[in-house]
Structure 1
Amino acid sequence: MIRSVKTIVTLLAILALIAILFVYSMFQGGFVSWFLFFSFVPILLYGMMMVFYPMGLMKVERNVNQHYLKSGQTLRVTLTIQRRVPLPLFYLVVEDDLPEMVTWHDTKQYKYRFLTHPEQLKNRKQAKSVMFPFMKQKLQFQYELDAIPRGRHHFKQVKVMTGDLLGFVKRERYVDVDTHVLVEPGEIPLKLGIEQSTFEEGQQTNYAVKANHTNLVSGVRDYAPGDQLSWIDWKTTARKHELVTKEFEEEKQKDLTVILNGHADEDSRWLAFEAGVELTYSISLQSYGDYGDVSVVALGKVREEVTLKHGKQSIERLTQLLSQIRMVKDHQFAKQLKREAWHLSKDRHLVIVTHDLSKAIHQTVLQLRQQQVDVELVFVSSKHLMAKDERHGLDQLHYAGVKVTWLNEDRLARRQIEVSAS
């Protein structure tokens, strides 16, 4: 209805201008007045034709160079516009509507330098171009999305706009062109080693991710080059007068559960959440093989769980899960974590990855430790945004026996993060 009214008003305005020019030429007379009339009439008549130009006959296609990428890579997009009516167009504006999660740049570990002000990463330009087709029937617009972030990105609409020379007529159309692109989360390089430290001002405990392997002595054998000194059985050595080392029977590997916090009270923590996703992905993949059973639980809008087993299918499911998960703005993580604790076996090793440490989360982790659960906490927060309550909470957790890691912008921006083995 509104579009019809605008069309009628535009037509009446063009006809009124033609009538005014004609009347002016008739009363004024002379070469100049009639020159103005015959010069502007074709332009105004072209404007009338543009009112009825069939924008719906334009065909728009979107092609991408690949549908599966890794975060930080470059996506190349090509828009093809096919015109079916051979009316000359003086200009054509093409704009691709980008998904919300594509508006920021994922510069791998360097993005964590903006952990205090993550909005500075949201500086991507619009995918927009002005073309001058005239009589061309087929047009192409290419653009690149460099440093694309993780996520299942759904490209929906393409906006096409044109008009006349004087700006009286402006025609636009939104064309639905569905394109899906899956971008996998990046991996944070973790260096596994044995290291313990205290949580103090300006210091953090290193993260423990390797399993505790308890070895039982099953017998003795002759010493071989490369055997550790602690393996030598000194009593048997003294009796036989030759070096003898112990043989060990390794116990069953301990199981691991990684829980990711998908909740936040503030939208400004979204970059810390992205770090949590990459840490969860890296810990799970690098722990796969060191543990008997690795499970990943994402607590967001809904509870989702993936258990890594032998074969690529479980890893693909984990990649799909962590590629699509979105942060939810609420404070339900502590309640969900309590529910998880009821079903958690005490012989499992628990790692909690969170970007928020509210009092409720702090109390829940303490309760888990009091229940003799082998729990570790990986906390992601900017050193400039960390509240006193959060720092005090980390100290309490550390003194209660919880292995604590605080990852800030300085540690996350490193090429490799050192982690300890429990």
Structure 2
Amino acid sequence: MKQIIKVVEVILLITILFTFAMFQGGFVSWFLFYSLTPILLYIFVLLLYPMKNWKVNSKISSTHIHAGQSIDLTITLRRLLPFPIMYVSLEEVCPVTLNRNDIGKEKYHSIANQTIKEQPRTLRKLLFPYFKREMEAEFQITNLPRGKHTFTHVIIEIGDPFGIVKKRYIHSITQEVVVYPMSYPFKWHVVSNQMEEGTKPAQIYDEKLTNIVGGVREYTPGDKFSWIDWKATARKNTMMTKDFEQEKDAQMAIACMVGEENVVKPLVLEASLELSMSILEEARKRKQHVTFHIHGKEIKHFSEQQIMHHIAEVKGYLSTIAPVTKRREQLSIWKHVPKGAFILTIWTKLDQTVVEHMSMLRKREYHPIVCYIRPSKEITMEEKQILQQLRSLQVPYQVITEKDLLKTRWEVRIHK
């Protein structure tokens, strides 16, 4: 209807100018008519110019990235007729899920905040195509937050240089970007010191056993000087080092307990997911036997094979995790983990339920460990008493605060 009204207005204006020139006569009247007629005719044709046959292509540099990283978005417009257009306003409509900025570890300075600051993103560019048949606009979207973000449509607007006519066309084009939780360098403290099946696992640091020699091999850069086997070196006339038996890793389970929406702070949840992802990446790097379990809106289990060979599935699931209305009280990890295994639990809420779960795991001959993420100034006396109960149960624990999260390398230092 607006377009029809504009067409009628232009025709009416041309008619008025012509009538004025006919009745008034003289140089000035006809000069006005001949001067304005080309402009009005251009506006008239612009009103009738079809935009539906424009081809719009959108290309994203990467559809799967990690939180805090950036992507490049390129939009290409192609048209058949080289009709002169003074300007094209191109806008990619961003989903509301991109209103947050993820600035990496620096965000944990504000871990105590109950809400995360949001600001709508605007991706708009002005192009001057004139007679060009192909136009291209590039945008960079930085500091993407965790989640699945779907771009649904592009808004194209053209008009005349005098602002009399503006035509808008919304082109539907769906593209999805999956942003995984970020993983950071992680210092692994809990590994197995067992050499045979059935023995009790013990806690050691990131060091290799050097007391059981399985053979010799050629020297490789990075080997310690003390590992050199001088007899074998003299015999083979080449540098040889001792080859030690590799320790077997104890079966481990990582359990991330997603907190309730009205309790857990948004950045605490992000920290729990990024910590889980960091531990899993370190376990994969070391080829350790580990399973992963999420207790949130639903209970989700990931096997060792999924973690080793299909880690993208795990990351994709973590990208969609949100605080739950009510946390599940059932802890069913033992159904998927053999007895005697380490179970590292990551909590965003500490109450008496945690003590009950850890006591139950101890009775089932597991070795539970508690990681509790909490702003340092908000640790209450009640939570300190719960930590004391865990100590009496001989359950190792660590309270992770913003001070720990801001470190270059994350560590889990268990205090008994």
Q: TM-score range by the shorter chain?
A: 0.7 to 0.9
Contact 1:151-1:324 within 8 A present in 2 as well = no
2:45 aligned residue: 49
2:403 aligned residue: 410
Per-residue CA distance 1:141-193 (angstroms, 9 max, x = gap): 11222344455544432222212334343322232334444544332222245
2:348 aligned residue: 355
C-alpha change, 1:298 and 1:227, in structure 2 (3 Å) is closer
Matches within 5 A, 1:14-413: 14-22=10-18, 31-32=27-28, 34-117=30-113, 122=118, 125-193=121-189, 209-211=190-192, 213=194, 253-266=249-262, 269-288=265-284, 293-309=289-305, 314-325=307-318, 326-335=320-329, 337-340=330-333, 346-357=339-350, 364-365=357-358, 368=361, 373-383=366-376, 393-394=386-387, 396-413=389-406
Q: CA deviation at 1:387?
A: 6.4
Q: CA deviation at 1:213?
A: 4.0
Per-residue CA distance 1:113-146 (angstroms, 9 max, x = gap): 2323486665574222111111111111112223
- SS of 2:129's partner is coil
Contact 2:293-2:333 within 8 A present in 1 as well = no
C-alpha change, 1:397 and 1:25, in structure 2 (3 Å) is farther
Distance 2:380 2:2 in 1: 56
Contact 2:191-2:249 within 8 A present in 1 as well = no
2:229 aligned residue: none
Q: CA deviation at 1:380?
A: 2.4
Moved more, 376-385 or 133-142: 376-385
Q: CA RMSD in A?
A: 3.9
Moved more, 396-405 or 22-31: 22-31
- Residue identity (%): 25
Distance 2:36 2:324 in 1: 61
- SS of 1:57's partner is coil
1:240 aligned residue: none
C-alpha change, 1:333 and 1:63, in structure 2 (3 Å) is same
Which of 406, 416, 420 in structure 1 is aligned with 2:413? 420
The answer to which structure, 1 or 2, has the higher relative contact order (CA under 8 A, 6+ apart) is 1
C-alpha change, 1:141 and 1:391, in structure 2 (3 Å) is farther
How many residues are aligned here?
371
Q: CA deviation at 1:91?
A: 1.2
Contact 2:182-2:274 within 8 A present in 1 as well = yes
Distance 1:320 1:191 in 2: 24
Per-residue CA distance 1:231-274 (angstroms, 9 max, x = gap): xxxxxxxxxxxxxxxxxx99975321112234531498333222
Instruction: Point out where structure 1 has 5 or more consecutive residues left out of the alignment.
Output: 194-208, 217-225, 229-248
Moved more, 290-299 or 359-368: 359-368
- SS of 1:56's partner is coil
- SS of 1:130's partner is strand
Q: CA deviation at 1:344?
A: 5.8
Distance 2:384 2:25 in 1: 87
Distance 2:263 2:86 in 1: 44
Contact 2:307-2:314 within 8 A present in 1 as well = no
Distance 1:359 1:47 in 2: 73
In the superposition, the TM-score normalised over structure 1's length comes to: 0.72
Matched letter for residue 84 of structure 1: L
Per-residue CA distance 1:198-231 (angstroms, 9 max, x = gap): xxxxxxxxxxx33464887xxxxxxxxx769xxx
Distance 2:350 2:36 in 1: 69
